[in-house]
Amino acid sequence: MSLNNVELIPAAEDDMRTIWEMQVRAFSGLLYKYQDYEMSPAAESFEKVMARYRQPWTKYYFIVAGDETVGALRVVDKKDGSRKRISPMWIMPEHRNKGYAQAAITAAEQIHGSDHWCLDTILQEKGNLHLYEKMGYHQTGQIEKINNRMDIVYYEKD
């Protein structure tokens, strides 16, 4: 799936060590900033990521721009009428603010269908809120306090 020179390339089981290493590096700044060792993708074990990969409803994709891997995302699609979910998605620090996340969301919606999605993000990360709202997601009103530094806000798109 290609959009503005961005493709989602399905990750295979052999790719999961790379996915995990990318995830840890991409989220380490947020882990340091918010000190959330319970939920942060940067604090997850390789085994937890591999267990998710093995779920029948999970699909991991590399986000590729041209010939460069710029990030990755996981789509949860149970194909049972429940909301599809992006969790997590990341762009590597050196590739941020170039439109890749927006293109990746659009590509995921082209693959899995454009309606009935949900996701969550850190309320204090205004750039993330702007991205998701620009992509047609709206806040559900549910906000979960994680610690004194961080809250999680929930989004849906119909």
pLDDT tens across 25-64, in order?
A: 999 999 999 999 989 999 999 999 999 999 999 999 999 9
pLDDT at 4: 65
pLDDT at 52: 97
The mean pLDDT value for 13-19 works out to: 98
5: confidence class by pLDDT, cuts 50, 70, 90: confident
What CATH topology corresponds to 2-114? Answer: Aminopeptidase (3.40.630)
Give residue-wise pLDDT tens across range 66-100: 999 999 999 999 999 999 999 999 999 999 999 99
Q: Is it the case that residue 151 has pLDDT exceeding 80?
A: yes
Look at residue 149 and give its three-state secondary structure. coil
The sign of the CA dihedral 77, 87, 122, 45 is positive
For residues 137 and 33, give the distance between their C-alpha atoms in angstroms, rounded to a whole number.
25
pLDDT at 74: 98
Run of H or E including 134:
helix 126-134
pTM above 0.75, yes or no: yes
Specify the amino acid at residue 43: A
Give residue-wise pLDDT tens across range 95-147: 999 999 999 999 999 999 999 999 999 999 999 999 999 999 999 999 999 99
pLDDT at 86: 97
